[in-house]
Structure 1
Amino acid sequence: MSTTHANVHEAVAAARNAREEAERALRLSRRRRADAALALEHDLYPMRIDEAERARRRRVVADADADVAVHSEALLRARAVEDAASALAAAVSGTDFAEKAVASTVVSLLGGPASAAPVSRSRVETASVRRAPRAARRPGNRPLPA
């Protein structure tokens, strides 16, 4: 098996593991939300808690619901990545020469040395090619020290 095949199959396994972890996290967050909702309803009839405790429990339910939404989005992204990795693996392992060539190029672009360094778009690292506004170029303004 070539290096490209090994890299693609490792990516598929990593994507599957990430999806499974996202599914576990979503199940756990749904369970926490259900427990929080039960705790909210538990002492309502007859009323055994004060309004401050009810408000606290409602906040816990709202936080758990937001957590479920975050984990749902994470699961959707993990499934998309797994599908993409599986499609790439199928193209690399396929018999069509054009698909293999494109898939190998994509793998080399994704795993090459250029992808190892993070891309930075901060203003500190890049210089602007635009001229400074007129107010900044007044004769009394001194340039900032480097």
Structure 2
Amino acid sequence: MSRMDSHAREAVTAAREAREQAERTLRASRHARNTAARALEHDIYPMTIDEDERARRRVAVYEADALVAVHVETVRRARVIEDAAIALVAAVTGTDRSEKAIASSIVDILGGRVPVPALSRSLVEHESVRLASRAVRRPGTRPQRA
């Protein structure tokens, strides 16, 4: 196996692991959203909580829903990247010379260890807050599912 083949296979493995992690995170955020929604509806009949607590629970549901939307997009991108990595490995190991030449160039470029900036926690929190503010619901409307 050549250096290019090993780089490409490492990329497929990394892409698969990233997709699996994104799917786990999505499942956890959906569970948190469902828990928040159940807490919102728990004390309605008979009404045992005040309106302020109900408003706090509503905000928790909206924030959890916005976070689910962010994670759905993350999973979608991770799947696209994984598919691209699989296609790249197929081209590198294939018999078509033109595909192999293009794929080899891409692997060489990617093998150069291009630094990827780390995602700071503040960016994630800022994004989820912006999505939550747009999700504020008017009286008489139902929350939308992601």
Same fold (TM over 0.5): yes
Match of 2:134 in 1: none
* Cα distance change on mapping 1:54 and 1:70 into 2, 3 Å: same
Q: Which runs of 5+ in 1 are unaligned?
A: 119-146
User: Cα distance, 1:110 vs. partner?
Assistant: 1.8
Q: When the two structures are superposed, what TM-score results if normalisation uses the length of structure 2?
A: 0.77
Please name the residue that 1:138 is paired with.
none
Matched, 1:31 2:31: yes
| Corresponding position of 2:17 | 17
User: By percentage of residues, which structure has more helix?
Assistant: 2
- Structure 2 counterpart of 1:60, which letter? A
| Structure 2 unpaired stretches of 5+ | 118-146
Matching of residues 1-146 of structure 1 within 5 Å: 1-112=1-112, 115-116=114-115
**RMSD of equivalent CA atoms:** 1.4
TM-score w.r.t. length of structure 1: 0.77
CA deviation map 1:47-79 (0-9, x unaligned): 000000000000100010011001001001100
Aligned partner of 1:73: which letter? E
Partner of 2:36, secondary structure, is: helix
Larger-Rg structure: 1
Cα deviation for residue 92 of structure 1 reads 0.4
* Separation of aligned partners in 2, 1:41 and 1:92: 54
Q: Which amino acid aligns with 1:39?
A: A
